[in-house]
Every structure is written in C-alpha cells, then in structure tokens.
Structure 1
Amino acid sequence: MSREIDDIHRLRIMAAGVRGATVVERTLPAPFEEVWPLMSALDFLPDLHHTRLLHTEGDRIELLARSKYGFRARLRGYRRPGWCWLQSRFLLVGLAAAPVPEGTRIALTGGVRVPTRAAVLPFGTQPELAAAARRLESRLAPRPSLPDLA
C-alpha cells in the first residue's frame, strides 16, 4: 500500500532532521492559487529585505538574498507549486502549502544555520515564523463577509 506524502508533511519531515528547527502552521482563508504566488515570492519573510533570482532549471532554484541587516546569502534549493526548500551556508528557508476545504494550509520553517551541521539556531525562530505567517495573511485579498441575518 502506497501513501503519498503531501508537501506539509514533507516539510515537517525535513524540519525534524534539522536540530533546533521549528515549524509554524496556519490555515489561511484563501485558495491555494492566491496563496502560493505570494509565498514563493519570499518577500513576506521579515528578515529578507531583497531577493534576486540568479538561476532556475526545472524545480531547482538559486537566488541571492539580502537581509534587512545587510547580510547576503546565496540560497540554493528546490521550488515547485506548494513546496520550497532553500539553504545557504548560514540560512535555511522551508515553505509548504496545500489546499484544504477551509482555504490553504501553510507551513514555514527556517532560521540561521549552524555551518556544516543540520541545525539552526533556535533563538527567536518561533516568533519570526509566526510574524511571517501573519504578514503573509495580511497580504491576501480581503474576503467579503457574509451579511448578518439576525
């Protein structure tokens, strides 16, 4: 019996292999087709001030990122609809999204990497990832509310 692993579960599995990694999940009230383009642009991440695409080949991607503090990182990894895993010598970014009946389930992980190890510094990652999820949600088009029938 074969069961396919969805991208949210894949992110949890990948993060479980990285010491200190935290995963923040949230369900956003918007369709996947609206959420994923915002996520894959990466500009909702609080620490990334600017990114520049350097190279893509299939689902492989390489980009140059600059933090709000001026640090630069050459990130390499994979990006396809619903999945993005990027890392540099000092930075890790993991994103996943999947459609659910209520909208889109997202999962985020990442942080400052410990060079030569599968580890991230755990200090402040939970609040940063939660802030990123809130920032992403704030960029979604407002949904019309249902009229009050009372």
Structure 2
Amino acid sequence: MNALDPVARLRVLAAGLRAPMYAERRIGLPFEQVWAVIADLEGELPHLVSFVREFRVAAGDSERKEARAVDVLGLRGPFEVRLGPGWCLMQSRLVTMGMAAVPDDGGTRLAVCGAMRPAALGPVQRTYRRLLGERRTRAFFREVERRAALR
C-alpha cells in the first residue's frame, strides 16, 4: 500500500475538517527554498498569515513542539505544532492550520488549510469561505513565493 504524500494527506485532513480555507498551488521554486520559508514559523508565519502578529516556538529538535501565537489584537493562545519535512500542522483549542509541500518537477506543490475546531462555528466558517477564503489563500501563496525567491 502506498502512503499519501504530505499534500494529499493535508487534502484529506481539510475535507474531514470541512475547512473553509484549503488551496494548492505550484510554485516554480525548488522545494528546499519554499519549505525553508514554511518551516521558519517564528520568522515567517507573521508575514504569511495576516492575523498572526507573533508566533513563538519552544526550542527543541522533536517534530512535536509547543508554540504560542499572538494575534493582531494581542490575544494569545497555545498551539501544538507538528513539523517535519513537507508537513506542518498547528492546532490550538480553536484553530487548526496546516501546510504541506512536495517537490514537483523542479518546482514545489504547496497546500494550505485553515479551520475552526468547534463544530458550532460551522456557519462562521462557511461565511468566511465565501467572503475571504480565496483572497487569503492567494495572498498566502503570493507571499510564500516572494519570500522564498529572496532565499
């Protein structure tokens, strides 16, 4: 049996979460450059996600880490992070966000997913998808590509 690659795995997760934000794009830069941006959560996440002002990850070498996010309003929240080659999943009690990438013929196939965790927030997620989801994902990919090109 073949294992799912990270992008396919994130696609399955997004479907299960009924994520209001999920998109995939091919970026014409090498995987190593693109993933260097994604994996630098402290340095890059505030540039990639407009509502994140700060993201601090506890030191350590393991794939499972604790982190603390500060949003643009100053609200703080703990996150559990799983970070490995081509895979990043961040979860708080309210939010799940994932990013995945695989090499793609000299470029990179990149996916991003975002969802609210409480089921009661389903109507909010559907509204968000209609109003902002596509615009936010386009901005995310544009900024990843811009920042990766600088590396």
- TM exceeding 0.5: yes
TM-score where L is the length of structure 1? 0.82
Tell me if the contact between 2:38 and 2:99 (Cα under 8 Å) persists in the aligned partners.
yes
CA shift in 2, pair 1:20/1:5, >3 Å: closer
1:49 aligned onto 2:53 = yes
- Give the aligned partner of residue 65 of structure 2: 61
- Give the aligned partner of residue 93 of structure 2: 89
Letter in 1 for 2:22: V
- Give the aligned partner of residue 16 of structure 2: 17
- Give the aligned partner of residue 146 of structure 2: 138
Deviation at 1:101, TM superposition (A): 0.4
Deviation at 1:22, TM superposition (A): 2.9
How big is each residue's C-alpha offset from its partner over 1:63-95, in whole Å with a ceiling of 9 and x where there is no partner?
A: 101112222221113110100111101222100
> SS state of the match for residue 113, structure 2?
strand
> How many pairs align?
140
> SS state of the match for residue 4, structure 1?
coil
Pair member with larger Rg: 1
Letter in 1 for 2:118: P
Deviation at 1:37, TM superposition (A): 1.4
Tell me if the contact between 1:28 and 1:102 (Cα under 8 Å) persists in the aligned partners.
no
- Give the aligned partner of residue 148 of structure 1: none
Identity of aligned residues (%): 32
Unaligned runs of 5+ in 2: none
Letter in 1 for 2:15: A
CA shift in 2, pair 1:73/1:116, >3 Å: farther
Name whichever structure is richer in helix by fraction: 2
> SS state of the match for residue 46, structure 1?
coil
Cα distance in 2 for residues equivalent to 1:64 and 1:29 = 32
Cα distance in 2 for residues equivalent to 1:33 and 1:66 = 28
Letter in 1 for 2:104: V
Cα distance in 1 for residues equivalent to 2:93 and 2:3 = 31
Unaligned runs of 5+ in 1: 143-150
Tell me if the contact between 1:56 and 1:62 (Cα under 8 Å) persists in the aligned partners.
no
Deviation at 1:56, TM superposition (A): 4.4
Tell me if the contact between 1:75 and 1:87 (Cα under 8 Å) persists in the aligned partners.
yes
- Give the aligned partner of residue 101 of structure 1: 105
Q: Report the RMSD for the aligned CA atoms in angstroms.
A: 2.2
Structure 1 runs of 4+ with >4 Å offset = 116-120
Tell me if the contact between 1:27 and 1:102 (Cα under 8 Å) persists in the aligned partners.
no
